Amino acid sequence: MEEIIKNAFIESINNTRRGDKREEVKKIQEKIINAKKIVVATNNQKKFKVIRDIMLRICNAEIKMLNIDTRFADLTRMPALNKGLMAVDTEKADLYIARGRLGVPGSGSMLIILDEKGRVLTAALSPSSVIHKEDIEERIKKELIEALKRIGIDI
């Protein structure tokens, strides 16, 4: 992963970067599919179950909930990202999955998948719940499937 990131940085510096490459997407897919331990940044059993059930369809990983309260991330500018970073900072894993508010109240939500260094591998956004009117489990399912689909992993 580091070599791919380094090469992309060099291309950007040299003004030769012309978009994502197949090998970059493949590396992200491999990182997710080959994960041995995944931490889900929630202590909500319903949210955890939805994410766990989907992830077990694509990888053979130990999947656990973060054993701390993530509500305090709601005090930050990007709660979903900060929930994921709380998990990175407190648990050792290959992948971290977090879901929460995108930004200010009313901005909708984001599901995000991070690697062991807190780098964003993929994510998906949803409109505010007052717009989509779906139950949270259904919405999380759609977000996770979309985040995986963005990098070529079909469920």
Q: What is the CATH number of the domain that holds 73?
A: 3.40.50.10150
Q: Extract long-range pairs of 30-35: CB within 8 Å, 24+ residues apart.
A: 31/1, 31/94, 31/95, 31/115, 31/121, 32/58, 32/59, 32/95, 32/113, 32/121, 32/148, 32/151, 32/153, 33/58, 33/59, 33/153, 34/59, 34/94, 35/59, 35/61, 35/93, 35/94, 35/95
In a domain, 102, yes or no: yes
What's the number of domains the chain is made of?
1
In a domain, 84, yes or no: yes
**pTM score:** 0.96
* Residue ranges making up the domain that contains 89: 35-150
Distance CA 14, CA 27 (A): 23
Q: Which residues of the chain have pLDDT under 50?
A: none
Q: What is the pLDDT of residues 11-55, one digit of tens each?
A: 999 999 999 999 999 999 999 999 999 999 998 999 999 999 999
Burial (CB count <10 Å: 0-12, 13-18, 19+), residue 1: middle
